[in-house]
Structure 1
Amino acid sequence: MPRLLIIANPAASGFTGAALRSVTRVLSRNYDVDTDWPTSAEGSRQAAAAAAEAGYDVVAAMGGDGVAHQVANGLVHSETALALLPAGTTNVLARIIGQPTKPAKAAAAINAGTARSMTLAHVTDGDRSDHALFALGVGFDADMVRESEKRPLSKGKIGSLHYVRSAISVAIRDYRAKPANLIATCDGESFHAVTVLVQIHNIYTYFGPVAFTLSPDVSEGPIAMATRELPVHKAIAIAGTAALQRNLEMRDGVRLWPGFQKLIIEADPSARMQADGDLLGVGEYFEITPAPDALRMVLPS
């Protein structure tokens, strides 16, 4: 029987002991199931890497996008597949791949699913290396994540509205008259910006059922967007255009690079970066490249 390890985050807003027992019971029909409870983000990454080394067929991340991000980074370039047992606030990646969010249904989808190779985005600052499953952001996106982490209890109470409130707060307080402090150089072209976002799939969102897309056309590989300025009215206009799935380059001061091969971001002063909703830190230099077939992932049939 194939082996599956559940890496669980009991602090996730949707996690319960009953849900864990339910998914274990369902998964046990198809897998020899073990469970691990790491006490830190790095612990989740290490546990996933150890599971791949031990020959597990699947590692299921039970929690939100944060634990999925850490588990995936422990599994990159291995034969062990990532699976999702969504138990977070927004579960962005689960929405993207169509994974059910109810525990038993998610487990059943894993049993019936197929492991396929996925493209990720690789980022390095020269010292640290990381992979993103669905999004990377330097500037506004990362500052919004930092703002949301100041009130962690609100995530569980008001869900996606917590991110909306954080985004509005950051736009009004920090980006109303912010000068461009980033130089984004992509495939030989440079652009001055206050924020850069890389989207790996055609649609994603932190904001619940409202789906955002940077381009109406699905590109081959990740797509990058740089924005020269972001006062509140422009942030609202960009968000509305993305929600309507129209071409964002119709907006003044926006540059898109679909299917890029290398994106370099230089920040002066330094800027924050986030990947999949996890803050990676502050830096002055980031290099982002597509990572084709970097991860095997169990997708719903």
Structure 2
Amino acid sequence: MRALLVVNPKATTTTERSRDVLVRALRSEVSLTVEYTRRRGHAATLARAAAEDGVDVVAILGGDGSVNEVVNGLLTSKPALAVRDAPTAHVLPAVAVVPGGSTNVFARALRLPKDWAEGTSVILDGLRDERYRVIGLGRADERYFTFTAGLGLDAAVVRRVEQARLRGRTSSPGLYLNAFLGQLLAGDRRNPPLAVETPDEVAETDLSMVVVQNTAPWTYIGDRAVDPNPGASFESGLDVFAVRRLTVPATTRTVTQLLTTGTANGPQILRLHDRAEFTVRSARPQAFQVDGDYLGEREKVHFLSVPDALRVIC
């Protein structure tokens, strides 16, 4: 069995020792090639080449951003494009994730251990037993995502966090909370620009934030799951959690509910469950994020559920 290990050397919770232990462990089971990412997008290039070279497994030591790049590399490889309108899981390498980021939402949604050493053990057992889970993905225009995408407030918060990290700040729940409060105070709460358009249904308009989930939970604040759509699943379509006008009382209530119970309810909330496709439009450019990475501003994004897209060792 041939495997590629993609390592993000800047992942926040990895060390040289953990990388060395993982490499030795994997080499005891497979013929292993190790590649270190050097720039944004490099993991996608490595994964695409691995799929086209017939590699059996692509392992990732990194956070959600590294996972997203690898997934997009696999799903845009020649084997995947050759069966674009059919399930791609069994024509692509299986994916193995060793959590190395600060949040690791995708790995935790798969119920993988948070500790890298325990995660390595799960992968080794999965390789020996050929134990895989087939999951669906989401697609936002041509970008695939594993657990979430969003436009509006949540994506603007991601943008603020990325800017803070570039200035040397460490990713933490406090950093995200400060970014949220700062964006809420700075944003235009009076004229919600977003609308969700679904086939054969009346559009939902006047939305300030649209979060799309491919699984549950949406994210984590420390050890607490934030789970506005607990019915979201890798085995079903996409779920939507949207917030209407961001008045101070309504926003305070929503945030309090999310922080204390993990979910939120009320007239300001819109939910859609198990949707195959829909479009989000905006009256003006809005921040856009995929799997926690800020991707600029958009005025229109088409979302599509992609069933049976990937095999994951877990």
TM > 0.5 = yes
Relative to structure 1, the CA distance from residue 38 to residue 216 in structure 2 (aligned partners, 3 Å threshold; closer, same or farther) is: closer
After TM superposition, the score normalised by the length of structure 2 is: 0.86
Equivalent in the alignment of 2:138: 121
1:146 aligned onto 2:163: no
**Contact kept in structure 1, 2:9 and 2:37, CA below 8 Å:** no
1:234 aligned onto 2:250: yes
Equivalent in the alignment of 2:277: 262
Amino acid at match of 2:219: T
Amino acid at match of 1:118: I
Deviations 1:244-270 (A, max 9, x none): 255x4x411221110112211111211
Q: Which runs of 5+ in 2 are unaligned?
A: 76-87
- Deviation, 1:93, is 1.2
CA distance in 2, matches of 1:155, 1:69: 23
Relative to structure 1, the CA distance from residue 25 to residue 218 in structure 2 (aligned partners, 3 Å threshold; closer, same or farther) is: same
Instruction: Please provide the CA RMSD for this pair.
Output: 2.0
Equivalent in the alignment of 2:225: 211
CA distance in 1, matches of 2:12, 2:65: 12
CA distance in 1, matches of 2:69, 2:301: 19
Equivalent in the alignment of 1:94: 107
- Deviation, 1:239, is 3.5
- Within a 5 Å distance, the mapping from 1:60-209 to structure 2 comes to 60-76=59-75, 77=88, 78-113=91-126, 114-124=131-141, 129-152=142-165, 157=170, 159-175=172-188, 177-187=189-199, 188-192=201-205, 193-209=207-223
1:287 aligned onto 2:296: no
Deviations 1:228-253 (A, max 9, x none): 1124543342244345255x4x4112
Please say which of residues 66-75 and 35-44 is displaced more in the overlay.
Answer: 35-44
CA distance in 2, matches of 1:26, 1:232: 52
1:13 aligned onto 2:28: no
Q: Secondary structure at the match of 1:75?
A: helix
CA distance in 2, matches of 1:68, 1:224: 22
**Contact kept in structure 1, 2:216 and 2:232, CA below 8 Å:** yes
Match of 1:278 among 290, 293, 296: 293
Deviations 1:133-178 (A, max 9, x none): 0001001111010000111168874523221221222112215x34
Equivalent in the alignment of 2:82: none
After TM superposition, the score normalised by the length of structure 1 is: 0.90
Relative to structure 1, the CA distance from residue 158 to residue 36 in structure 2 (aligned partners, 3 Å threshold; closer, same or farther) is: closer
CA distance in 2, matches of 1:241, 1:282: 28
Amino acid at match of 2:246: L
Q: Secondary structure at the match of 2:149?
A: strand
Amino acid at match of 1:274: Q
Relative to structure 1, the CA distance from residue 282 to residue 101 in structure 2 (aligned partners, 3 Å threshold; closer, same or farther) is: same
CA distance in 1, matches of 2:202, 2:93: 38
**Contact kept in structure 2, 1:155 and 1:162, CA below 8 Å:** no
- Deviation, 1:15, is 2.1
Q: Which runs of 5+ in 1 are unaligned?
A: none
